[in-house]
Amino acid sequence: MRMTGSIKRRHPTQRLAAAAATRGVVVSYPREADPNPASHENVTRRAISEKLAALQGYEYAGDYDDAGVYDGAVYFVPGETLTLERAHALGIRGEKDLFGGVVPFTFVGTKTITHPLGGPGAVAPEGWSHEFSRLVREAVLPGLSAFSLDDAQRGGERLLQSGAVRVKPALALGGRGQSVAADAATLEAALADIAPEDLRQCGIVLEQNLTEVTTYSVGQVRVGDLVATYFGSQKLADHDGLEVYGGSDLTVARGDFDALLELDMDDDARLAVKHARTYDAATMQCFPGFFASRRNYDIVRGRDPAGRILLGVLEQSWRMGGASGAEIAALEAFRADSGLRAVRAECTEVYGTGAQPPRGATVYFRGEDELVGFITKYTTVQPYVDA
């Protein structure tokens, strides 16, 4: 794989001089499936890569070039969760080498690990862990994962006995590509839209559909000597009549999960943090080779068809994500003030030309994206105040 960009190439004497001034370089590593260097995701990742370089005293070196020569350590900012095979080929050995995560198999980086398979005879990919779904069953919603159309149809029809089912392709991001099936026929039609190779490799999730939904984010980032852990809620944005991810409003604590729990938060927030920790610990236990410096868990609260309120983890993100602008803003604040205990950091994504970022905001992208149209992405940060 060869990525082109603003790579800095040097004569050997220049490299020696630069090595004395920098500990290493940070490179952006785009997704193979997104070759457009001007996409809002690629532009945002480059901007965040520059900030990560500054936080660590590194030099920013543009998009990764496998023929390039780099000074010192190379720190990657990938556009997707990496497999162990690819990470090792790049020289990534641990969480200090990247902003993101590494998994032993591709499907481990998707939402399909959240739920059990439909039954004893269900198709399972190499590396599947039945123990994982047992460990997280109290922390997730009722649902199942499948890697074949037959397993998905049969399992989905069982779920339909309790109400409508949400159909979630494993590779869909930001709520896109999902649908709700109310009966066996609409379920079959939704499953027919899944690419066979995607289904075989990464699977599909079928989950009890909730109404009156609020989506929370719980996560942690580790960059150099900085650790920040957060809880917050997600916002929705209107994009061509669909509700999609519109940003996150986070309360970020300096330190680990215990530091976060020392802050004021309501019962739902504490339960969301508990479920995220359960999911995180189960991943470490069940998927050897996994490591991550950026961990984010989407957690939903809503009402099921029987009227009960449920709260559970939907999926994980072990790569740079929608909330990363807010995560970086918090890290910058902690780096600037060693006595700062917590901050409020907010990232926003708005579609259409009417949005104007507030004064003082860090704007990551404002313009036309060939896939989603005109989009504005920005981040703000302010002091945390106890309730």
CB 262 within 8 A of CB 242: no
Buried b (16+ CB within 10 A) or exposed e, 279-318: bbebbeebbeebbbbbbbbbbbbbebeeeeeebbbbbbbb
Comparing CA positions, the residue from 2, 9, 23, 1 lying closest to residue 61 is 9
> What is residue 173's predicted lDDT score, i.e. its pLDDT?
62
CATH number for 212-383 (one of 2.20.28, 2.40.128, 3.30.470, 1.10.3470): it is 3.30.470
Q: Quick one: pLDDT at residue 266?
A: 94
What tokens were used for 179?
């649908």
- 25 to each of 64, 97, 179, 260, 387, how far by Cα in Å? 10, 10, 42, 31, 41
Domain ranges of the chain: 12-79, 110-139+142-209, 212-383
pTM of the model: 0.89
- Per-residue confidence in pLDDT tens, the chain, 387 aa: 333 333 333 433 343 334 335 589 999 998 876 668 889 999 999 999 999 999 999 999 999 998 888 878 999 999 999 999 999 999 999 999 999 999 999 999 999 999 999 988 999 999 999 999 999 999 999 999 999 999 999 999 999 999 999 999 988 765 567 899 999 999 999 999 999 999 999 999 999 999 999 999 999 999 999 999 999 999 989 888 888 889 999 999 999 999 999 999 999 999 999 999 999 999 999 999 999 999 999 999 999 999 999 999 999 999 999 999 999 999 999 999 999 999 999 999 999 999 899 999 999 999 999 989 999 999 999 999 875
**Looking at residue 34, what is its pLDDT?**
64
pLDDT at residue number 177? 76
Q: In this structure, which long-range contacts are made by residues 253-259, counting pairs with CB atoms below 8 Å and at least 24 apart in sequence? A: 253/228, 253/229, 253/341, 253/342, 254/226, 254/227, 254/228, 254/334, 254/340, 254/341, 254/342, 255/227, 255/228, 255/229, 256/220, 256/227, 256/229, 257/220, 257/229, 259/229
CA distance 122 to 150: 9
